[in-house]
A and B are shown apart, each in its own frame.
Chain A
Amino acid sequence: MPAIEVAGLRKRFGDVVALDDVGFTVGAGELFGLVGPNGAGKTTTMRIMLGVLAADAGEVRFGGDPIGYLPEGRGLYPRMKVRDQLVYLARLHGLGINDACTAAERWLVRLGIAHHRDDEARRLSLGDQRRAQLAAALVHDPALLVLDEPFAGLDPVAVDVVSAVLREQAARGVPVVFAGDQLALAERLCDRVGIIRDGRMVAVGGVDELTGGAGTRLRIGLDDSAPGWARGLGGVRVLGDDGGATLLELVNGTDEQSVLRAAMAAGRVTEFSRHRPTLTELFRTAIGEGHGR
Chain B
Amino acid sequence: MTPAGAVRLVAERELTLRLRSRWFLLGTLAIIAVMAGYVLLQMSAGGGEGRSEVGFAGQASVLGDRVTAEAHELGLDVDATTVVDMAAAHDDLAAGSLDAVVSGTAAELRVQVAGELNPRLRAVLTELSRQEVLAAHLARAGVPDPEAVMAEANATRIDVAAIDAVGTGGDQRVAIGVVVALLLFLSITAHATFVAQGVAEEKSSRVVEVLLAALRPWQLLLGKVIGIGLAGLIQLVAIAAAGIGLAAAAGLLTPSGVAVSTLVWGAVWYLLGFVLYAALFAIAGALASRQEDAQAVLTPVTAVLVVGVVAGFTLLIVAPGGTAVSVLSLLPPLSPVLLPARIAAGDVVSWQVALAVGLTLATTALVGWLGGRIYRNAVPHTGSRMALTTALRGR
Contact = CB atoms under 8 A, between A and B. Distances in A.
A88 interface: yes
B1 interface: yes
Interface in A41-77: 47, 50-53, 66-69, 71-77
B42 to A, nearest CB: 40
Interface stretch (B169-177, B200-208, B254-262, B336-344): B200-208
Contact of A89 (B202, B204, B214, B380): B214
B206 A71 contact: yes
A149 B215 CA distance: 23
Nearest to B217: A52
B210 A137 contact: yes
Contacts of B214: 66, 89, 92-93, 140
Given A88-B13, A93-B1, A75 B380 contact: no
Contacts of B213: 50-52, 66-69
B9 interface: yes
Contacts of A50: 209, 212-213
B384 to A, nearest CB: 11
B395 interface: yes
B209 A71 contact: yes
A78 B201 contact: yes
B209 A47 contact: yes
Among A50, A52, A91, A140, the one with the most B-chain Cβ atoms within 10 Å of its Cβ is A52
A53 B214 CA distance: 14
Contacts of B206: 71-75
A75 B207 CA distance: 4
Contacts of A68: 213
Nearest to A46: B209
Contacts of A47: 209, 380
Nearest to A88: B13
A94 B202 CA distance: 21
A137 B13 CA distance: 19
A73 B214 CA distance: 19
A78 B197 CA distance: 13
Interface string A127-167: 00000000011001000000000000000000000000000
A92 B212 contact: no
A94 B5 CA distance: 9
B51 to A, nearest CB: 53
Contacts of A13: 395
Contacts of B13: 88
Nearest to A121: B205
B211 interface: yes
B19 interface: no
Contacts of B10: 92
Interface in A174-200: none
A290 to B, nearest CB: 24
Contacts, number: 63
A69 B9 contact: no
A13 B209 CA distance: 18
A75 B205 contact: yes
B392 to A, nearest CB: 15
B37 to A, nearest CB: 32
Interface in B258-305: none
A51 B6 CA distance: 18
B1 A74 contact: no
Contacts of B207: 74-77
B210 A71 contact: yes
Interface in A85-102: 88-89, 91-94
A93 B211 CA distance: 9
Contact of A75 (B1, B17, B201, B209): B209
A74 B380 contact: no
A174 B206 CA distance: 24
A69 B202 CA distance: 15
A92 B211 contact: yes
Nearest to A84: B13
A88 B10 CA distance: 9
B210 A91 contact: no
Interface in B203-242: 204-207, 209-215
Interface in B122-142: none
A50 B206 CA distance: 13
Contacts of A67: 213
A92 B209 CA distance: 13
Contacts of A78: 201, 205
Contacts of B6: 92
Nearest to B198: A77
B213 to A, nearest CB: 5
A282 B213 CA distance: 34
Nearest to B204: A74
Given A73-B206, A75-B206, A78-B201, A92 B395 contact: no
A163 to B, nearest CB: 22
Among A67, A69, A72, the one with the most B-chain Cβ atoms within 10 Å of its Cβ is A69
A94 B9 CA distance: 10
B207 to A, nearest CB: 6
Interface of A: 13, 47, 50-53, 66-69, 71-78, 80, 88-89, 91-94, 136-137, 140
8 contacts: A13-B395, A52-B212, A52-B213, A53-B380, A67-B213, A71-B209, A74-B204, A77-B202
Given A75-B209, A93-B214, 18 more contacts: A50-B213, A51-B212, A52-B209, A52-B212, A66-B213, A66-B214, A69-B210, A74-B204, A74-B207, A76-B205, A76-B207, A77-B202, A77-B207, A78-B205, A88-B13, A89-B211, A89-B214, A92-B211
The 6 tightest CB contacts between A and B, nearest first, are A92-B214, A94-B1, A71-B206, A74-B206, A52-B380, A71-B209
